[in-house]
Structure 1
Amino acid sequence: MSTESASYRARFSDRASRIRSQFEFLAQDRLALTGMIVLGVFVFLGLFGPLLAPHDPIVSDVHTKSGEIMRLQPPNAAAPFGTTEFGKDVLSQFLAGARPTFIVGLIGGVGTGALGFLIGLVSGYYGGWVDEFLMRLTDLTFSLPFMPMALLLLTFVTPSIWLITAIIVLFLWKMPARVVRAEVLSVREQTFVRSARASGAGHLRTMFVHVAPNVLPIGFLYVAYGVAWAIASQASLAFLGFGDPTSTSWGRMLRMVFESGTIRIAWWWVIPPAVGIAAVTTAVFLIGRAYEEVINPEIQSNK
């Protein structure tokens, strides 16, 4: 029992060390560090934003001291981010809208990167009919454009955060799968992989213990890109009117200001969600850029 416990602690320590090394690696790049800070703020808002909102973003109205509803008012003491045409607090909508955006971005991005990584890993490692089947499936996914297919699917069902996330993962895993497969095809021919197989290691152990760690930076890269893709896709769907009607998101805020016809006037209503989406997607791409420099040394040499 003590041996098993020691082995478990050793594995846990090794995983923690790998995660810590990733953060240390990102902290060495100023742009990536900036991206991590912005992403950290986004995560905080995603977790606690609705709790920090001073008003209910859907039900509550902002009133003047005389009791009148403050409609389309620029930033003021009562509403630091201004109000909407219906007198709703833009700050409260912004804080509450961070959570749906965070959920779709995190789960959609991680799901996209993880699914693409696994499919590319299995396809590249096994080759043969497994590779043929998975790559034809990938080709089929490439032939189906995301936005028209997403709009088609959401036309027949009531949109929800979880359904939108599932659609994003379903259609956006194709790119990481292709790239990971190409890298695995090279790694599997290395001497250490052949030695592992010759020493009696099974396919699963060889694939996940010896091959996967060597293509893991690509996985991290596409998880980072996947978060940005997921957030942008969710915002686009919400802006087109196919977002979750039961929740406030940054994309839905842009949709509401567009529908109100005040998009050229109510700048205080447009800027918070637009800047939020732009800041998070840019931060994620800065982090992804750091990993891309590891994968592609030519980028580093051209600096």
Structure 2
Amino acid sequence: MHIKYWQEIKSNNLGRLGLILLTLIVGAAVFAPVLASFNPTEQTTASFRPPSREHWLGTNDVGQDIFAGLLYGARTSLLVAVTVAFFSTAISSVVGATAGFLGGFYEKVAMRVVDALLVIPPMLVVIIIAAYIQPSLWCLILLLSMLTWPGGARIIRSQTLVLKEKAHVRAARTFGAGPLYILRRHIIPDLGPILVANLVQGARRAVFMEAGLSFLGVTDPTTVSWGKMLYHALKYVYLDVWQWWLIPVGVSLSATVMAFTFIGYALEEAMDPRLRRGRHA
């Protein structure tokens, strides 16, 4: 299945909206040092200042610039989204494709491991681990990657079972191609649409989970995070400061999740033409 992802997303209204939102968020994250005039972790005596020309979104309870925190928080969210999506998709691809293609005892063991991991809530595991250690950002990324791959592995295995019966795969076997060659040259390329969809889904889930864990305090205290900003902002909802502290952070987090979700919808329609016909009916 060969899909022109860029063209499909651009031709879809939700896909275009998702691309616009994601472009704005990525731009804010990349140019954060240029756009932000203050260090987001620097504490000053100018606490609870309203928005002004100096502080575009005012300051928080310890005098930190909220606009700078918003920009650098985008960096954290996107870093977690990209790395977790990549690693979890890579693991699910290897396990799912090899299990579906090789079969036998290896498939049974691999799928039982997947079934066992699927019933374990990733958030709960990370919280329990955080009770003993204070996970750094990269430790959090590793934990989320190791706990979120099983769902994708089951999908990839199912598709691999279909692909290995295709004519070109059978022909490769007839001419003596080994399992590794067939997986690398035939199975994995044909899994491209599903892998891209898993990447988008994994990124969306990672953004939400990172914000939730940061909100609960399960993260490096020196890391600037939207979830941590939300947690601190909720302490002062009885003051006017929530208008320029809580709302912008909530809108930014929602926009990031919506961007990945809309792109995922566009890719889903591209992979399943029946959805496209239903939309135009």
Residues 167-224 of structure 1 show CA distances to partners (whole Å, capped at 9, x for unaligned) of 1111111111111111111111111110111112211111121122222101100100
Query: Hey, what does 1:34 align to over in structure 2?
Result: 17
Are 1:25 and 2:1 counterparts? Answer: no
TM-score by length of 1: 0.86
Equivalent residue letter for 1:145: P
Q: 1:287 aligned to 249, 257, 263, which one?
A: 263
Are 1:57 and 2:33 counterparts? Answer: no
Give me the whole-angstrom Cα distance separating, in 2, the residues matched to 1:271 and 1:98.
Answer: 15
Tell me if structure 2 keeps the 8 A contact 1:117–1:180.
Answer: yes
Q: 2:169 aligned to 170, 193, 203, which one?
A: 193
Query: Hey, what does 1:227 align to over in structure 2?
Result: 203
Distance verdict in 2 for CA 1:284–1:55, change over 3 Å: same
Residue 34 of structure 1 deviates from its aligned partner by 2.0
Equivalent residue letter for 2:18: G
Q: Percent of aligned positions with the same letter in both sequences?
A: 29
Tell me if structure 2 keeps the 8 A contact 1:57–1:93.
Answer: yes
Residue 262 of structure 1 deviates from its aligned partner by 4.6
Residue 60 of structure 1 deviates from its aligned partner by 4.2
Residues 249-279 of structure 1 show CA distances to partners (whole Å, capped at 9, x for unaligned) of 1111112212455588512101222111111
State the SS of the aligned residue for 2:170.
helix
Tell me if structure 2 keeps the 8 A contact 1:72–1:82.
Answer: yes
Q: 1:159 aligned to 135, 138, 147, which one?
A: 135
Tell me if structure 1 keeps the 8 A contact 2:8–2:267.
Answer: no
Tell me if structure 2 keeps the 8 A contact 1:121–1:180.
Answer: yes
Equivalent residue letter for 1:29: N
Q: Which has the higher contact order (CA 8 A, sep 6+)?
A: 2
State the SS of the aligned residue for 2:191.
helix
Aligned-residue CA RMSD in angstroms? Answer: 1.9
Size of the alignment, in residue pairs? 278
Give me the whole-angstrom Cα distance separating, in 1, the residues matched to 2:172 and 2:270.
Answer: 26
State the SS of the aligned residue for 1:302.
helix
Q: Which runs of 4+ in 1 moved over 4 A?
A: 260-265
Query: Hey, what does 1:178 align to over in structure 2?
Result: 154
TM-score by length of 2: 0.92
Bigger radius of gyration among the two: 1
Structure 1 segment 1-303 matched on structure 2, within 5 A: 21-61=4-44, 69-260=45-236, 262=238, 266-303=242-279
Tell me if structure 2 keeps the 8 A contact 1:108–1:230.
Answer: yes
Tell me if structure 2 keeps the 8 A contact 1:159–1:245.
Answer: no
Identify which range, 73-82 or 189-198, moves more after superposition: 73-82
| Structure 2 unaligned blocks of 5 or more | none
Query: Hey, what does 1:15 align to over in structure 2?
Result: none
Tell me if structure 1 keeps the 8 A contact 2:26–2:78.
Answer: yes
Residues 140-169 of structure 1 show CA distances to partners (whole Å, capped at 9, x for unaligned) of 111211111110012211221101111111
Give me the whole-angstrom Cα distance separating, in 2, the residues matched to 1:269 and 1:95.
Answer: 13
Tell me if structure 1 keeps the 8 A contact 2:236–2:242.
Answer: no
